[in-house]
Structure 1
């Protein structure tokens, strides 16, 4: 019996093995037929590439950090530069040198400059300058060491007991001007640090996310426009029809024949931009809430200098503006929440508490006050409201109750929740003196710029120490310093910016850097090294036409990338930097197309494209 039982067990075992083998073969065949490229291994095994989360969802797997392979060639999707000369480039260079004028008809729409801007840097495998996995530069966390966690501390709780928004006698800590000035200048023109390379910090494992190229961001912008963020208003208003009419006129904007104040190649679509700007000038009305007490609300003066000056100057110029501001909220298309994220931190943050819960609570209490007094937030769910904030903590502080309004943020980080098509990338600008806003503007001609690339600044975050370690004293054409050395001619920061072809703009603790605007101010082509950073006014400007955008992993290839840009191409880019400069300048009284108007226009433009016809 035992031997017969053993035979039966063997027979049953063989049947099960054959059955499993047949099932596995069927699965393999099905996967081979159905899956792309028949690659079952990548579907059976876990994907090791980390995904970037945007509003709780993951990016598609094809948004990876690696270059795209096409046959035996490697295409660098982010390096849109080539030594080949297009007809547009020749024409534009001729205009720059004064030989002949540029034909505007070929540059009328967003696709006008495609021959110049959409070419890719292509190399054969043996010439490939992309870093291998072995020599790729490591990353780091994007958070500042001082960024508080969302945990509530006892000290933070105490500050919210006497809410200055609701109380007649607000209990708010006084602002120390000396402290404010010193903190406002934390990313100034060089540092007292040693010239020795600081230790390089590594990005914590698991924190790396897929990197979006500029092309990916363009696609995401169109996708977000197609699926609007706005809720349908709870009740209709006369302003809705005005906004819808404006949208129709912008989409069907007449093609520009000649406008000397707008240079077509630097825009996505110059015709749509000009028509949108004209309608904004004619119809836009903004209601500024009167509620809120100083020093956090209605108090731009302390933030008119330093690296947070964008939010201070915008508040000052808008609240004093008679063209756009209305006292009748029923006729407003936009509603402004007039607080300073810098003053919020300076006033309420408890040092070393590692908590900003009380700052969030303060803003939520203010919003509750506005909602209780006015019906306008509830009508649209806050979609027609906006705020302007330059502090690094602003995205986290406004992520909950204020999330449905449009946010103009300096910290425009896709992986931190920045929403293309709704939010606005606010230019971070350093203002040294509120009385001389345009001091030292401009720079040398392309021929007089003898330094290939330049950077000097504090070692914030993980990328800048890498930049220093990789390039300090390594190449005579690339000048990288933590502290500017003394020289015969006492060449200072501004002189370097004015005499360099390219100005390196690496991220700090966060993705944004004031050097992007500084480079434009001194007519130096910006080299942006900051993954997932949305450049300012992204919905309007074609950044690839006048800036170099490099992924952080390509830092070791910096020189090769810059040298791949021909002299002719560089002259075109530098000329475009000069033409785009008008959009990044502050004036004591706003000037057409300046930075104040561009911020307001981007908020207006995004709002227009969120509204859908019923």
Structure 2
């Protein structure tokens, strides 16, 4: 910051508020330096609290002084970035989807714009979640969601939890779990690309382009408290409701895809990023 403030006038003009930074690390804005706290952050992780609370959301009810070193993974002393610098500020930052970077063979399977999506009521799995279900025993991993589901439902025969996977595995499933990971997670993007209805369980996390997309029309959003009832909740979704969500996924999936497989006339994640940044710029302009 000291270098830029002396060599250009733009930073000093607004204290960096009209500067934009794209942070792609696991916890993105959680790891930004103090100097960027007023700048616009494009991030994969929309967690509107400090890092020390990610996976320890119960601490959000604590006094502002912070958790006093209760979490050895972070510096949780008062005044540290981990306790007092929010990872994401909804008024100025932008949450975007992870770049899934699918190949030509997967692009060929995507629903074409304007074409009707053919639903089916026959699926191999009720819920699919490929990949890791824990990380070195760390309770904050995935905000505790994957671990809780694995602990309670590992013997549920209609669930697939963990292991290697392809997008065809998601297509063969009625629902796909979309939790966070060590920080951001990309399961939402994979589910949308395969028209597998996402089951989003990410406490306090804002999803990509949530202010622009009708998430309620194409996903289920559950709390950690509902995990014990997960099989019953999923089975309670009717075929008609499920088909409606799949049709919405076929309509909106391009919003989370940075590629443009159908040409420049069809909006992508890049276009929605620019729309959201324009909103932020207008709001900032009204304040300056």
TM-score if structure 1 supplies the norm length? 0.36
Distance 1:393 1:400 in 2: 15
* Closer/same/farther in 2, CA of residues 426 and 571 from structure 1, 3 Å limit: same
User: Any conservation in 1 of the 2:27–2:182 contact (CA below 8 Å)?
Assistant: no
Distance 2:195 2:4 in 1: 43
Matched, 1:395 2:29: yes
Matched, 1:479 2:160: yes
**Match of residue 466 from structure 1:** 148
Distance 2:190 2:201 in 1: 15
User: Any conservation in 1 of the 2:167–2:190 contact (CA below 8 Å)?
Assistant: no
* Closer/same/farther in 2, CA of residues 504 and 478 from structure 1, 3 Å limit: same
**Match of residue 271 from structure 2:** 597
Q: Secondary structure at the match of 2:181?
A: coil
* Closer/same/farther in 2, CA of residues 445 and 425 from structure 1, 3 Å limit: same
Q: Secondary structure at the match of 1:520?
A: helix
Distance 1:380 1:467 in 2: 46
User: Any conservation in 1 of the 2:119–2:243 contact (CA below 8 Å)?
Assistant: no
Distance 2:257 2:265 in 1: 9
Matches within 5 A, 1:509-524: 509-510=182-183, 512-524=184-196
- Alignment gaps of 5+ in structure 2: 51-85, 112-116, 136-140
Give per-residue Cα distances to partners, 1:320-344, cap 9 Å, x unaligned: xxxxxxxxxxxxxxxxxxxxxxxxx
**Match of residue 445 from structure 1:** 119
Q: Secondary structure at the match of 2:107?
A: coil
Distance 1:524 1:601 in 2: 27
**Match of residue 558 from structure 1:** 230
Distance 2:269 2:224 in 1: 28
Aligned-pair CA distance for 1:602: 1.4
Q: Secondary structure at the match of 2:200?
A: strand
Matches within 5 A, 1:314-463: 367-416=1-50, 417=86, 418-431=88-101, 438=107, 440-441=109-110, 445-458=119-132, 459-460=134-135, 461=141, 462-463=144-145
Aligned-pair CA distance for 1:432: 5.7
* Closer/same/farther in 2, CA of residues 531 and 368 from structure 1, 3 Å limit: same
CA RMSD of aligned residues (A): 2.5
**Match of residue 579 from structure 1:** 251
* Closer/same/farther in 2, CA of residues 609 and 561 from structure 1, 3 Å limit: farther
Distance 2:9 2:123 in 1: 57
Matched, 1:500 2:173: yes
Q: Secondary structure at the match of 1:509?
A: coil
- Alignment gaps of 5+ in structure 1: 1-366, 485-491
* Closer/same/farther in 2, CA of residues 586 and 493 from structure 1, 3 Å limit: same
Distance 1:591 1:377 in 2: 36
Distance 2:118 2:214 in 1: 24
User: Any conservation in 1 of the 2:99–2:258 contact (CA below 8 Å)?
Assistant: no
Aligned-pair CA distance for 1:542: 2.4
Q: Secondary structure at the match of 1:408?
A: strand
User: Any conservation in 2 of the 1:444–1:499 contact (CA below 8 Å)?
Assistant: no
Q: Secondary structure at the match of 2:3?
A: helix
* Closer/same/farther in 2, CA of residues 451 and 444 from structure 1, 3 Å limit: farther
Distance 1:514 1:502 in 2: 15
Matched, 1:610 2:284: yes
Aligned-pair CA distance for 1:473: 2.8
Q: Secondary structure at the match of 2:42?
A: strand
Distance 1:447 1:563 in 2: 12
Distance 1:379 1:436 in 2: 49
User: Any conservation in 2 of the 1:446–1:574 contact (CA below 8 Å)?
Assistant: no
Aligned-pair CA distance for 1:579: 0.7
* Closer/same/farther in 2, CA of residues 404 and 592 from structure 1, 3 Å limit: farther
Matches within 5 A, 1:70-89: none
Aligned-pair CA distance for 1:454: 0.9
Matches within 5 A, 1:19-58: none
* Closer/same/farther in 2, CA of residues 439 and 382 from structure 1, 3 Å limit: farther
**Match of residue 61 from structure 2:** none
TM-score if structure 2 supplies the norm length? 0.73
User: Any conservation in 1 of the 2:170–2:191 contact (CA below 8 Å)?
Assistant: yes
Aligned-pair CA distance for 1:558: 0.9
* Closer/same/farther in 2, CA of residues 437 and 369 from structure 1, 3 Å limit: farther
Give per-residue Cα distances to partners, 1:82-137, cap 9 Å, x unaligned: xxxxxxxxxxxxxxxxxxxxxxxxxxxxxxxxxxxxxxxxxxxxxxxxxxxxxxxx
